[in-house]
């Protein structure tokens, strides 16, 4: 989800905006309330901030393993359709 920021605020806090973009954030810049530009990372790969890395590590340590292996959405969908058609 991108943040919306006015052109004035973007100019006054440009260095902060660039740091956040480097961390993966996206900005929509507005002039007189109308969107005029997007500020996005060049590589397209989101980089996490230190706080986000810490939160992700904490989440990984506290989550329950499902041990279900990899799955394919299309295969699951087809299985449900087959099951539905077979139950008639």
Domains located in the chain, CATH noted = 3-63 (3.40.1620.10)
The pLDDT tens digits for 26-74 are 999 999 999 999 998 887 566 677 888 888 888 777 766 677 777 778 8
Q: Which of 24, 60, 20 is nearest to 42 (CA)?
A: 24
Which neighbouring-strand residues pair with 6? 30
Residue 27 · residue 38 · CB < 8 Å:
yes
Residue 29: count other Cβ atoms within 10 Å of its Cβ: 19
pLDDT of res. 48: 72
Structure tokens at 64: 């329950």
Q: According to the per-residue pLDDT averaged within each range, which of 1-5, 32-36, 74-78 is highest?
A: 32-36
**DSSP letter, residue 68:** -
Greater confidence, 1 or 4? 4
Q: Which of 45, 10, 16, 47 is nearest to 29 (CA)?
A: 10
């Amino acid at each position: 989800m991108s943040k919306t920021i006015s052109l004035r605020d973007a100019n006054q806090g440009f260095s902060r905006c660039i740091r956040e973009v480097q961390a993966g954030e996206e900005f929509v810049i507005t002039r007189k309330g109308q969107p005029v530009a997007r500020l996005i990372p060049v590589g397209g790969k989101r980089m996490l901030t230190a706080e986000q890395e810490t939160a992700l590590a904490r989440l990984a340590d506290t989550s329950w393993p499902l041990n279900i292996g990899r799955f394919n959405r299309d295969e699951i969908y087809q299985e449900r359709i087959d099951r539905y058609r077979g139950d008639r």
